[in-house]
Amino acid sequence: MPFELSPEQEAFRKVVRDFAEAEIAPHAEAWDRDHVFPVETVRAMGELGLFGLPFPEEYGGSNADFTTLCLAIEELGRGDQSMGITLEAGVGLGASPIFNFGTEEQKQQWLPDLCAGRALAGFGLTEPDAGSDAGATRTKADLVDGEWVVNGAKAFITNSGTSITSCVTITARTGPGEISSIIVPSGTPGFVVEPPYRKMGWHASDTHGLLFDDCRVPEGNLLGERGFGFKQFLATLDDGRIAIAALAVGLAQACLEESVRYAKERQAFGAPIGRYQAVAFKCADLAVLVENARLITYKAAWLKDTGKPFKQEAAMAKLYATEAAVTATREATQIFGGYGFMDETPVSRFYRDAKILEIGEGTSEIQRLVISRELGLPVQ
Ligand SMILES: Cc1cc2nc3c(=O)[nH]c(=O)nc-3n(C[C@H](O)[C@H](O)[C@H](O)COP(=O)(O)OP(=O)(O)OC[C@H]3O[C@@H](n4cnc5c(N)ncnc54)[C@H](O)[C@@H]3O)c2cc1C
């Protein structure tokens, strides 16, 4: 059983790590403080090829495997969770549904710019009154004279309102008991991007509510088959769970590194605090958390890459790695003492950024539900 990444994967990890250390980590505190979405950095991520990783070369991608995408998300997330989620959502929620379910014409229209990082796309599933219960979608789209007329609202949509957002794919009711996905280009009349939310964390990530008021798009903007929207987003979320787990691994890794460094430096009672078992053992426990979170995440990515079933493992990876990341940020903040509560200390930002990992792309409770069902339990 091999536990090693391939030389290509290791080399690529180093490229992304070097990029994140040079271009992202030094600015992360200021972006967080000023709530800046750094478009030029996102473009630079595009030039590095990050947004095109899992897509074929004909659309500007590099045909990399899913594990390589996870490595990139992990490394960005180690420097800044906001940039990690920008990549994760840009690829997993923005470009992937178009690649997986779109017509050739739709792929040709949208993917080259998305793969190059010249554009971003969002995926609008969640609504003000339908999140975990996404089948309760109320947004509707009626086919009138060859156009979809969309009315409704979406909530918390990542990458939906940046200056380079080209489109958002939304789910909508297209008939009784029928949910379909429809691509809505940015700037379409009747498509309103609400002001950014005031969030606990992810301050450099772009998140908006969206309104659709008699918003008309061509009939050809239907993504895949009519009535398949529910199936499409379930498949999209299975992949997303592994990618969010990778983002969590990056955060837990950063907590471990910061904690060990500080435990060696910070003096108390005439010795570095790492001399005291209460602190040293927290670091040891963090190392175990990171190792487990990474293994369960890479295993799920490997299952996907090798064409094996991975639904349960994806849910397990998301559940375990995100809860590990939340624990890691809490323990790292404790190790930093009062400085851990100050915003200029990275672990303070990590602490605020962590919580959403247990919520976005399926809450911990929903992961437990998926795992229970895979175990054959009749759980509701
Ligand atoms: C910053 C941010 C970015 C996001 N980006 C996107 C995006 O790009 N696209 C998108 O579509 N969505 C996005 N989301 C939405 C996110 O996926 C949802 O918030 C999440 O799925 C939970 O839905 P909800 O907020 O409606 O919570 P609810 O579904 O209302 O859940 C509330 C609580 O009830 C629990 N619960 C609900 N049902 C059950 C059940 N059957 N059994 C047990 N417990 C249950 C939940 O686990 C949770 O604890 C984003 C959210 C945030 C905060």
Q: Tens-digit pLDDT profile for the chain (380 aa)?
A: 889 999 999 999 999 999 999 999 999 999 999 999 999 999 999 999 999 999 999 999 999 999 999 999 999 999 999 999 999 999 999 999 999 999 999 999 999 999 999 999 999 999 999 999 999 999 999 999 999 999 999 999 999 999 999 999 999 999 999 999 999 999 999 999 999 999 999 999 999 999 999 999 999 999 999 999 999 999 999 999 999 999 999 999 999 999 999 999 999 999 999 999 999 999 999 999 999 999 999 999 999 999 999 999 999 999 999 999 999 999 999 999 999 999 999 999 999 999 999 999 999 999 999 999 999 999 98
For residue 364, give both structure tokens. 């911990």
Give the span between the Cα atoms of 364 and 235, in whole angstroms. 18
Nearest atom (ligand 1) to Cα of 199: 1
- Ligand 1 atom nearest to CA at 365: 47
Catalytic residue (choose from 104, 291, 361, 374)? 361
361 is catalytic: yes
Q: Is 339 exposed, middle or buried (0-12, 13-18, 19+ CB in 10 A)?
A: middle
Q: Which amino acid is at 366?
A: I
pLDDT for 118 equals 98
Please indicate whether residue 129, judged by its CB atom, sits closer than 6 Å to ligand 1: no
Helix axes 39-47, 104-116, angle to 10 degrees: 110
- Tokens found for residue 346: 């990275």
Ligand 1 near 369 CB (within 6 A): yes
Which residue from 125, 129, 132, 159 has its CB within 8 A of the most atoms of ligand 1, so it is best to mutate?
132
Reading phi first (left if > 0) and then psi (alpha if -120 to 50, else beta), residue 25 is in: alpha
Nearest-angstrom CA–CA distance, 365 and 354: 16
Residue with tokens 């478009």: 39
Nearest to 348 by CA among 198, 200, 239: 200
Separation of 331 CA from ligand 1 center, angstroms? Answer: 25
CA of 224 to the centre of ligand 1 (A): 25
pTM of the shown model = 0.98
Centroid of ligand 1 to alpha carbon of 136 (angstroms): 13
Q: By C-alpha distance, which of 181, 58, 39, 49 is closest to 111? A: 58
The Cα diameter of the chain in Å comes to: 79
Separation CA 187–CA 353 (nearest Å): 30
Distance 230 CA to ligand 1 centre (A): 16
**Predicted local confidence at residue 2, as pLDDT:** 82
Tokens of residue 292, six digits: 């487990």
Contact 41 CB / ligand 1 (< 6 Å): no
- Tell me what pLDDT residue 1 has: 80
- Rounded distance, CA 299 to CA 374, Å? 17
